[in-house]
Amino acid sequence: MINDRPYEQNWRPIYELSAAVVWFSAMNAAYTLSFFSSLPWVGFILTSSFCATMAVTRLTQALPRWQQQSRLKGKKLALLKLTRQQCQSLQTKNQDQGVWLGWGFEWQRLHGQKAWDLLRSDNLPAKSEKTMGAGWIHGMEEHEETLYQPLEQTQMHTMVIGVPGSGKTRLFDLLVTQAVLRNEPTIIIDPKGDHDLASHTHRSCKLSGNQYRFMKFHPGFPADSIRINLLQNFNRSSELASRISGLMPSGGDNAPFQAFAQKAVDAVVQGYLLCGQRPTLVMIRQGLEGGVTKLLIKALTIVCTLHSPQASNTVQKEVPKGKRNADTIARRWIEFYRDKVMSYAPCTDVEGLISLFEHDRAHYSKMIATLLPALGMLTGGPLARLLSPDPTDIDDLRPCTHTASLIDQNKVMYFGLDSLSDPMVGKAIGQLLLADLAAVAGDRYNYSLNDEKPINLFIDEAAEVLCPQLLSLLNKGRGAKFRLYVATQTLADFEAQLGSEAAAQQFIDNCNHLICLRTQNPDTQKFITDKLPPVRYRYFIRNQGISTDANRPMEFTGNLSEQQLEETGDLFPPQLLGELPNLEYLARLGGGRLLKGRIPIIYSPKP
């Protein structure tokens, strides 16, 4: 149904400006003639005054249209000097109004109508060679305003999409700065290890008044990195086996190897825990690669001595003096356990180690051969002390910590994974880190108090560290007060990693908010705009014709008609997502808000 409101073409030529020029010329002519004509000057003055009035009227009508068309040139990149006064202002606005998302406006049908008209017209502005994208998109609104997102909405997670160079890092810089200023625990996972993002985060900590909140992990700079045990936090010991076996290729022919490796790792982990030791990656590798004999002897000694104090002496007597090797001692302990202890006090943790010890050695080596290279990469060279730290090592002055401690101490943690140099190691570290954070989230959800601070988790290039634990954080992290910001280049990245469109869709749908910078992928563009409600746009069709009668060739008849029609279209044309300038975005927030915004480049004044 045609709307009763009058429809006027937005981008027609400014006829009022031409009329204003004509009336102004007429005013000057009348005024000039008053000096040369013998006619009464009053008539010329009245005529000149009337022409001046009409010129001003037409100019007033032309000015809004001229301003509207001048906005099609776009906005220049905005710079924001982050001073202490600016930080205090951001802190206040965060608490009162929410997270600041830059400047812009809420995109509505009116803006869609203007964009639709411009795309159909011949007045589409030419793109500049100096700047990327179509700056006219942001010119659909006359007055932009400061955009905010309420803090309570950020717990429903946000996905950021954009090609390299479109502004994802600058957007993260803006969001991270505000999280730091709110004095909340903040964790950044950056597979490529962007130095700017790390230095800007450190700068935010300085401006917040506590630069020691900032901590950094980077495999490429081990001397400047902290030491962190990514196996420190778990709710059940079986989680550690799942994390480590998850580093292996899954599915297809690898499924039996992965299942066996998980069983072997679980037995080793249970053995270390039984002996009172917190397992690390190095310890697990030693237990798998060097055999479980020593660990089995130690575990059996503890279990058997608990129920039979004389067990150690008894076993030592049964070992022949000429055969006191580790394997022989382990077999004697196994016999003692089965004869004296197993019948009334069985221990499944020890029995798992016994099963590994008695397994055929050649078959055992083949079954864990796929896991050992992954463990070897994480426990070789400087990574051995970075990821498997010894808290009692007083010679290593680098901080030694774990994720739960970082959160409890309200730290700002930057994890650069250096995936550009070694993608396999970077991916493995990222997955172990996310699994550890998922365990922390589960612990907070089950046992922590409600007054704990929210945790801000920023993940750049999320497809490179994709794992089941990340999906769990998106599914259930809200209850543990986790706020996730997940960035990627296209939605196809998730599909390539997960292997199916349905799995990728499941992952994406867990993010209630979506911020899209420039993206060239047609499927991504369509995915974003298809979830917006369709609208009806109006336009004119003009028809004209002329005809003659054969019996009266000198008579002509003509017709001229104009018809207003409506057509269903997208609220935001999907192809425009590929033409967004740098640092400009379209945000689809939970609850149906659609924002067109732009963000600043934050910088600090020189000292």
Over the range 303-333, which residues count as b (16 or more CB within 10 Å of their CB) and which as e? bbeeebeebeeebeeeeeeeeeeeeebbbbb
Averaged pLDDT for residues 507-515:
87
pLDDT of 411 above 90: yes
For the beta carbon of residue 186, count every other beta carbon within 10 angstroms. Answer: 30
- Dig out the tokens for 350 from the structure: 């020890």
Inter-residue contact 402 to 243 (CB < 8 Å): no
User: What would the 3-class secondary structure string for 486-505 be?
Assistant: EEECCCHHHHHHHCCHHHHH
pLDDT of 540 above 80: no
Averaged pLDDT for residues 119-144:
81
User: How many whole angstroms from its chain centre is CA 292?
Assistant: 42
Least confident piece of the model among 7-21, 26-40, 317-331, 372-386: 317-331
- Dig out the tokens for 535 from the structure: 């609208």
Looking at the chain, the whole-number percentage of residues with pLDDT higher than 70 is 96
User: What would the 3-class secondary structure string for 13-57 be?
Assistant: CCHHHHHHHHHHHHHHHHHHHHHHCCCCHHHHHHHHHHHHHHHHH
pTM of the shown model: 0.88
Which pLDDT score, from 0 to 100, does residue 6 have?
64
Higher pLDDT, 36 or 490: 490
Q: How confident is the model at residue 1 (pLDDT cuts 50, 70, 90)?
A: very low
pLDDT of 33 above 90: no
Averaged pLDDT for residues 261-289:
90
Residues 6+ apart with CB under 8 A from 109: 535, 571
Q: How far apart are the C-alpha atoms of 531 and 334, rounded to whole Å?
A: 63
